[in-house]
Amino acid sequence: MSDHWKKLRILTTNHCSYNCEYCHNEGHKPSYVSSPMSCDDFVMIMEAVKPLGFEEIIFSGGDPLLNPATVDMIEWADNNTDHKITVETNGSAVTDEIAARIGNTRAMLNVHYPAAYENEYRLVTGCSIEPFTQAVRFLDKYRIPHVFNFVLHPDHMEGLDGVIDHVIEARKQIELLPYVESGMNNISAGIIRRVTDILDSTSSQKSFEDDYRITVWTFGNGGKVKLIKSPCYDRDIDMCKGFGELRILPDLTLQKCRFDDDSIKLGGLSPEEIRDKINVLRDSFTTCI
């Protein structure tokens, strides 16, 4: 396995309109307050990291689409890089105009789908499901490639059956994410085993991707459920670096792990100094935090 970060996770804001009870908020402490990232700062970072061989940019947050500059960043990345571009969002800020702009790029969306029905959705997020439903209509209208994701938290499993039914019916894909938290307590391990057994008993085809990191159940109409392994569960440093991500926060601090308190300020540094900081961090990251 390659000892190399291939993904760059850009957190363009730490602001979110939802309040998901299990949210790790990408490791931001509740006290962390930052202005949203500007497109100029994003471009400066991207120019600096160009020689480092990243293959994918993942925009996340908070909810990245609450920062209007994020769509400018997506368009810049589409025009100026050949990286895969992914946007993680709850969908609440996807308007017809935003969807039309994203639809003109190669970006794909990974949309958080915690429940299929209003009451369950509100219980998890504190908000109505209607903006999510509208967002999915816009994604279909502009043919924006998208997958959904569901966090396997023991206290929030009510919605899973409905979500899987809807996703398969629509011939789409859902990624099941192990719940992770600071301290790596692995509290979803039992849920992961139960969900695996249930999916194994369905009339679907089972296969594996990415060196067994992803288990895929493909249903008769092409709809898919994917269970993603988390490196945090085994503190697997090779998986973490091979499939994991280097992270840049809205205030331009660099972080090797969402649960790591150590962060390195990139603001005001030259492109060479930024590359140097990343290389030193990469080389010194040999064990889980």
Ligand X SMILES: C[S@@+](CC[C@H](N)C(=O)[O-])C[C@H]1O[C@@H](n2cnc3c(N)ncnc32)[C@H](O)[C@@H]1O
Q: Does 73 interact with ligand X (rule: CB under 6 A)? A: no
Q: Which does 42 bind (CB under 5 to 8 A by kind): ligand SF4, ligand X, none?
A: none
Q: Which does 19 bind (CB under 5 to 8 A by kind): ligand X, ligand SF4, none?
A: ligand SF4
Quick one: tokens of 263? 């962060």
Show contacts with ligand X in window 10-39 (CB under 6 A). Answer: 16, 22-26
Rank residues 49 and 149 by Cβ distance to ligand X and give the closer one: 149
CB of 250 to ligand X, least distance (A): 12
Applying CB under 6 A, the site for ligand SF4 has a residue count of 11
Rank residues 61 and 242 by Cβ distance to ligand X and give the closer one: 61
CB contact set of 172 (below 8 Å; sequence gap of 6+): 146, 147, 148, 223, 224
User: Which listed residue (9, 83, 112, 172) binds ligand X by CB under 6 A?
Assistant: 112
User: Which listed residue (8, 10, 177, 254) binds ligand X by CB under 6 A?
Assistant: 177
CB of 48 to ligand X, least distance (A): 24
Q: Does 60 interact with ligand X (rule: CB under 6 A)? A: yes
Q: 187 vs 88, 152, 158, 232, CA distance in Å?
A: 24, 10, 17, 12
Show contacts with ligand SF4 in window 131-160 (CB under 6 A). Answer: none
Stretch that binds ligand X, among 58-66, 101-109, 209-217, 263-271 (CB under 6 A): 58-66
Stretch that binds ligand X, among 135-143, 174-182, 207-215, 260-268 (CB under 6 A): 174-182
Radius of gyration of the chain (CA): 19
Q: Does 236 interact with ligand SF4 (rule: CB under 6 A)? A: no
User: Which listed residue (9, 28, 83, 112) binds ligand SF4 by CB under 6 A?
Assistant: 112
Applying CB under 6 A, the site for ligand X has a residue count of 19
Q: Does 245 interact with ligand X (rule: CB under 6 A)? A: no
Binding site for ligand X (CB under 6 A): 16, 22-26, 60-61, 63, 88-90, 112, 149, 151, 177, 179-181
